[in-house]
Amino acid sequence: MNKKQLISELKFKAIRSSGSGGQHVNKVASKIELHFDLENSHTLNEEEKELLVKALSNRLTKNNILLLQCGESRSQHKNKELIIDRFIDLIIQGLKKKKKRQPTKTPKSVLIKRKESKKKQSTKKSQRKKPDLE
């Protein structure tokens, strides 16, 4: 995966941002919206695309387009840098393969301790019963 090629496939759109800035906010489009078409990416191979579709399923549109927004800064350039960094982090995290969990055997001491506590609880309960008069 080449980061420069990935970044070249991104589409950016500047939109008006909400938040602090007074009247300036109403005039300047400083919020950046990033669009990445996962299906039509030439940088990623099919296996990587499948991994990303699974990992980013809640962030993708029906057409498998990733949308990210950033309006943290008043500067459009700063927002663009932030959104690119976030995008790269998302892709890297999405491509990581999770290790399969190795099931371990329960230690004997734990099993013995559990049986003892069950026996103790059983005797406690049995002592609460009313005695048989017969």
Supply the CATH number for residue 54's domain. 3.30.160.20
Residue 43 in any domain: the answer is yes
Question: Is pLDDT at 76 greater than 90 in this prediction?
Answer: no
Average pLDDT over residues 75-102: 90
Three-class SS of residue 133? coil
Does residue 31 fall inside a structural domain?
yes
Is residue 108 situated within a structural domain?
no
Domain enclosing residue 42, as ranges: 3-95
53 occurs within a structural domain: yes
Residue 106 lies in a domain: no
Is residue 111 in a domain?
A: no
Which regions of the chain does DSSP assign to beta strands (E)?
11-15, 31-37, 65-70
| C-beta of residue 78 within 8 angstroms of C-beta of residue 66 | no
Q: Whole-angstrom Cα distance, residue 59 to residue 53?
A: 9
Residue 105 confidence class, pLDDT cut points 50, 70, 90? very high
Number of domains in the chain: 1
Mean of the per-residue pLDDT values of the chain? 88
pTM for this entry:
0.68
Output the pLDDT for position 122: 94
Residue 58 lies in a domain: yes
User: Quick one: what percent of the chain has pLDDT higher than 70?
Assistant: 95
